[in-house]
């Protein structure tokens, strides 16, 4: 397998502030990274797909100005939740694919975001 | 109608039993089918990956895909307490993982010692 590290694992922030979540591929070069969101008792929902060096492609209904995605290098993508509100509280998970791992996507451990 | 339907459970079975998990889907364009295991507060871990219809076996796990019925299954033989987790089905149109995945809600499985 391959290792995808996501940080932080959990974060609590105040309403109106911004939060940055990092996703790193530790032992392979991730040409593509995916960001998912999972609400309690719901499916993981794809938010956006990012290719290294390109702008992210957002799924319908996901606000690109609110969820800023940067994939500036082959091993790092970041998701910034701007002006967070309580309804943004969720479990955010990244996955990465590319390089030696080919088309299989490996998941990070997830980030539990709580906005108070 | 959701794209992927999966009974969330919980499904509780005694140790050693054969477990059957399944999903139905509506989009006939899905070609790649996956099963993930997710422990609490962790990211999903890929268990099985199949392309199109057919069966695939890996140790105690068998994945079945019936595209004509839009129905996929995961069987776990000789179930162990360590198999207790949430099992997610996932599928994609493009080469598994190349596109973003569409997930079911996950089935919470409990194996009783």
Rounded Cα distance, B42 and A93, in Å: 9
Contacts of B39 in chain A (CB under 8 A): none
Q: Evaluate whether A19 touches A78 at the Cβ level (below 8 Å).
A: no
CA distance A38 to A26: 24
Q: Does A108 touch chain B (CB under 8 A)?
A: yes
Which member of A41, A42, A110 has the closest CB to residue B43? Answer: A110
d(CA B22, CA A23): 31
Task: Give pLDDT tens digits for B14-66.
Answer: 999 999 999 999 999 999 999 999 998 788 998 998 888 889 999 999 999 99
What residue has token string 């929902």?
A: A45
- For A:42-71, CB contacts with B below 8 A are 42-46, 49, 59
User: Is the per-residue pLDDT at A69 higher than 60?
Assistant: yes
- Give the tokens for residue A30: 């991730």
For CA atoms A78, A79, A80, A86, the dihedral sign is negative
Assess B45–A contact: CB distance below 8 Å, yes or no: yes
From the list A6, A49, A103, the residue facing B100 with the nearest CB is A49
Q: Residue A101 has what pLDDT? A: 63
What does each C-alpha distance from B86 to A10, B46, B75 come to in angstroms? 20, 12, 14
CA angle A27–A19–A10, rounded 5-degree value? 65
Lookup: tokens for B29: 């364009």
Backbone angle region of B28, left / alpha / beta, with phi > 0 → left and psi within -120 to 50 → alpha: alpha
Among A6, A46, A107, the residue with its CB nearest the CB of B44 is A107
**Of B31, B41, B71, nearest to A6 (Cα)?**
B41
A28-51 pLDDT, tens per residue? 898 899 999 998 878 899 999 998
Query: Best interface-test mutation with A: which of B44, B45, B94, B106 has the largest number of A CBs within 10 A?
Result: B44
Q: Contact A106/A97 with Cβ under 8 angstroms?
A: yes
For the segment B64-91, the average pLDDT, to the nearest whole number, is: 96
Cβ–Cβ of B44/A108 closer than 8 Å? Answer: no
- With contact defined as beta carbons under 8 Å apart, do A100 and A114 qualify? no
């Amino acid at each position: 397998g391959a290792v995808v590290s996501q940080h932080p694992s959990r974060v609590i922030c105040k309403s109106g502030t911004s939060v940055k979540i990092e996703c790193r591929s530790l032992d392979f070069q991730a040409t593509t990274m995916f960001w998912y969101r999972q609400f309690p008792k719901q499916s993981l929902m794809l938010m956006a797909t990012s290719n290294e060096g390109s702008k992210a492609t957002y799924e319908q209904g996901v606000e690109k100005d609110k969820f800023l995605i940067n994939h500036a290098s082959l091993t790092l993508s970041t998701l910034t939740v701007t002006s967070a509100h309580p309804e943004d509280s969720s479990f955010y998970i990244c996955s990465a694919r590319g390089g030696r791992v080919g088309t299989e996507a490996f998941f990070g451990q997830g980030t539990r975001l709580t906005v108070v | 109608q959701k794209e992927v339907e999966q009974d969330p459970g919980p499904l509780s079975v005694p140790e050693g039993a054969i477990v059957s998990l399944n999903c139905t889907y509506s989009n006939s364009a899905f070609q790649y089918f996956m099963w993930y295991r997710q422990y609490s507060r962790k990211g999903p871990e890929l268990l099985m990956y199949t392309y199109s219809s057919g069966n695939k076996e890996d140790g105690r796990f068998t994945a079945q895909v019936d595209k004509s019925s839009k129905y996929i299954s995961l069987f776990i033989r000789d179930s162990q307490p360590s198999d207790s987790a949430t099992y997610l089905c996932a599928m994609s149109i493009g080469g598994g993982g190349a596109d973003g995945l569409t997930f079911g809600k996950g089935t919470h499985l409990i194996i009783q010692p």
